[in-house]
Amino acid sequence: MISLKGKKIVDLTDELVARVARIDGSIEQGTDDAYGHKWLSEETINETDGTMEHLVGANIGTVSDWPIGGLSGHMGAHIQLGVRHNDNWTGLPDGMKGIWDVPLTTYYGEACVCVLDNVRGRPILPEHLSNVREGDIVLLTSCWSGDEQPTLVGDTAYWLAEEKKIKMLGVGVPGISWETNYDGPEPDNSPTHRAMTGNNIPIVYPLANIGSLKQDRVFFISLPLNVERMEGTWVRAIAIEEE
């Protein structure tokens, strides 16, 4: 029998509070995720059995009397791969996969914890990631925010993807500025996206509480929803470490 005795489970996702449009017409405001997105829902009655249910996100006008806007798979802590996400960009390789194409084992395993408080406002270089082993899930964080966050530059992203052949990239936000050159011309835009998705390495973010982990190696689990054609899905990410 599998036992977690002597182990500690650490939640790496921030709690969100839904914004709810109630049946009586009132609105209960919620909280935003790290990027300012709201979790939008509407209270309804299931006509089959009279229970209350919450509709989660829809395009305005798709559902009659819908009072709110849409909600994507990139809201809150989520995981993404390249197919139907950025495979429309030029310069990416053939053979890119979607979340549903890779085995479930992709989404859990041994992880390296990289707390980069000492890289305040500077590029993250391979020398700052000396504890990363080949095939690791890599969790990045720092105590900084805004312009003081360490930045994952393109060369280091490609080093992680192609030399270290990491299994998954998990990013604490705020804490790490993990993408650069968003609005640059293709094929030089968004090098971290290109390095990871071009090598079928999932990206999971925005994560929280990485800095609270006591060990620099943990067991990480971040499972996507089992929904084909979704380029990104919500996750509940956890780390398991020794007590």
User: Tell me, what's the pLDDT at 67?
Assistant: 52
205 vs 59, residue with greater confidence? 205
The encoded tokens of residue 41 equal 């829902």
User: Tell me, what's the pLDDT at 174?
Assistant: 97
The residue written with tokens 């989404």 in the block is: 107
User: Tell me, what's the pLDDT at 15?
Assistant: 94
User: Tell me, what's the pLDDT at 68?
Assistant: 52
61 vs 146, residue with greater confidence? 146
- Does residue 81 have a pLDDT over 60? yes
| pLDDT tens, position by position, 101-139 | 999 999 999 999 999 999 999 999 999 999 999 999 999
User: Tell me, what's the pLDDT at 134?
Assistant: 98
| pLDDT tens, position by position, 205-240 | 999 999 999 999 999 999 999 999 999 999 999 999
When pLDDT is cut at 50, 70 and 90, the band that residue 69 belongs to is low
As its CATH architecture, domain 78-242 has: 3-Layer(bba) Sandwich (3.50)
Q: How far apart are CA 225 and CA 235, in angstroms?
A: 7
User: Tell me, what's the pLDDT at 65?
Assistant: 52
Give the pLDDT mean for 62-78: 70
When the pLDDT of each residue in the chain is averaged and rounded to a whole number, the result is: 93
The segment with the largest mean pLDDT, out of 2-6, 24-28, 74-78, 141-145, is 141-145
When pLDDT is cut at 50, 70 and 90, the band that residue 241 belongs to is very high
Domain boundaries, the chain: 17-71, 78-242
User: Tell me, what's the pLDDT at 19?
Assistant: 87
